[in-house]
Structure 1
């Protein structure tokens, strides 16, 4: 019952944010002119953009497949692709992408994968996923001040905040992994303070949950220490996976017949949006992603093509991902775990 209420809330929240985004994007704009511009786009350039989205989803499935084999669990690549699709679908529709991993753990459990194993794999996926954004953010802060002054000056505070939040998130996860005792002490004291201030009621079950979580973090630490090369490989795949999605905007740029701006600049600008919005409590960064695009891509698309460029870029990079992962989640719902149920 509680899960149904949560799902209904997430759907309503998504629709409200979507409606607000559409209003903000199209209010006061000449829809007829936008349609005319979009009709002139070279569709052939959009095909590799869609392929980038498929590669993005596929990339995580390869990581899951690779890590499961490392842990002596054999799965079909197609099953891992469905796990990946489920994660991206629920991440797209929930605030801060909070629903992705619980959904993946649920479907992995249907395939008889122990929860500690799925939790370990997905935790490493999360750490490397966010670590890519940390690398991008810190690289620009330390070595890309010229790029920031040229393209990002108007949104520099949002970019710096996004970078700082991602650094904090990755640091916190690594502390939880490598110093679980210290992390436990901090969390226990934090909960005690919240209880003292009457923000939380005292519950023994909460402490038990915390202890169980610490066990999972210890398992992750052991795995990271014993499989350093695996982590390096996973990070490399994740880097390729994330930049595949960012590259979709370059193909949109080419679809308009534009030139003069280097591919690395267009791809980096799209990466900056990801860094800036990743930690915000909005499904898919909806609303703020469109706003940032409109602010930093003017030198790339020009004022006339800016909105059509945003429509295609977000349409491919987010809404195509949402639609494709939704279809594959339906497939997962009817296929994952079914064979095992029949065998039983």
Structure 2
């Protein structure tokens, strides 16, 4: 990890500590102690296992895409990819560091650079489609409830959905309308050229053309690997459902048995959507505020709400940072080029 990344990680942890310090100072200590003493810790264990299981499922998605012509990525190397992704997603704006970190992790495991890029591209496309499906279902099921709590801010969720739809449309255009997409992007870049210098315009045009060409070439693999893509899509859906269910088990640990799993998962999807719109790593600040706003109706006391927010954040954010650091330190076993790929 670079010095800048270490500094970013420390800063985000300190900001998180400060946020929870501010929240805790308004609480009655005796009420907090009483809440802690009556927690059902077995549900916290379940929440921890569910979060870890989501990374394990994602590692099998990596294994599926890497497996090709007898190449077989061992489980430990595959699991290292989502853990490293978690670390760098959580300490970089807009989670921009996750993709390069995964690429390095795969190359360290012996996957050739071009092949690793192809794997990550297919993984990204599948993930975006599954996220979009979840967001659409969530808005159909629970937007009215969120709008009641958030008011005008709820339209950020719609804006986030529009962004994801635009991304998917762009991917599909490259896959099925390659020449049209290049012309469309060329027009957009020329329009941007009205406001930037000629040299920068040429760099942008070259960069965008290279990205489109790369994605189109890799999209041909997607079309040829339909069964592999379907398997990965099914696992990605499971991965997302596991992640979205984490706050449900956190709430159960406080004895809140009346909470509904679907409602909690819908609320969590909405939080993820809102947080993804902000450039702050991990959506720090916005994530905590969104959690308090959406889950206040489930929780009886302020101490339960703040502690639930703390535990949720520890499991879904800081745990990923901790496991990612461990994954960086673990030696990598190189790719197994066996004569016959093992079945997953």
TM-score, normalised to structure 2, is 0.85
Aligned to 2:309: 310
Counterpart CA distance in 2 for 1:57 and 1:139 is 23
Aligned to 1:136: 134
Say which of 84, 92, 95 aligns to 2:93: 95
Counterpart CA distance in 2 for 1:158 and 1:148 is 11
Aligned to 1:175: 173
Aligned to 1:335: 332
Report the more deviating stretch, 166-175 or 11-20: 11-20
Q: Displaced runs of 4+ in structure 1, greater than 6 A? A: none
Counterpart CA distance in 2 for 1:211 and 1:160 is 30
Equivalent residues, number: 336
Contact 2:8 2:91 in 1 (8 A): yes
Report the more deviating stretch, 12-21 or 115-124: 12-21
Q: CA deviation at 1:31?
A: 5.5
Gaps of 5+ in 2: 338-344
SS in structure 1 of the partner of residue 166 of structure 2: helix
SS in structure 1 of the partner of residue 267 of structure 2: helix
Counterpart CA distance in 1 for 2:12 and 2:70 is 38
Q: CA deviation at 1:11?
A: 4.0
TM-score, normalised to structure 1, is 0.85
From the superposition, tell whether residues 200 and 39 of structure 1 become closer, same or farther in structure 2 (CA, over 3 Å).
farther
Aligned to 2:247: 249
From the superposition, tell whether residues 310 and 124 of structure 1 become closer, same or farther in structure 2 (CA, over 3 Å).
same
Counterpart CA distance in 2 for 1:136 and 1:338 is 33
Gaps of 5+ in 1: none
| Cα RMSD for the two superposed structures | 3.0
Counterpart CA distance in 2 for 1:254 and 1:12 is 31
Contact 2:71 2:335 in 1 (8 A): no
Contact 1:159 1:276 in 2 (8 A): yes
SS in structure 2 of the partner of residue 196 of structure 1: coil
Report the more deviating stretch, 150-159 or 254-263: 150-159
Q: CA deviation at 1:189?
A: 3.1
Match runs of 1:180-191 below 5 Å: 180-191=178-189
Counterpart CA distance in 2 for 1:35 and 1:199 is 62
Q: CA deviation at 1:313?
A: 1.4
Report the more deviating stretch, 202-211 or 102-111: 202-211
The answer to which structure, 1 or 2, has the higher relative contact order (CA under 8 A, 6+ apart) is: 2
From the superposition, tell whether residues 252 and 142 of structure 1 become closer, same or farther in structure 2 (CA, over 3 Å).
closer
Deviation string 1:82-138 (CA, Å, 9 cap, x unpaired) is 122111211111111110111111222233322222222212222222323322222
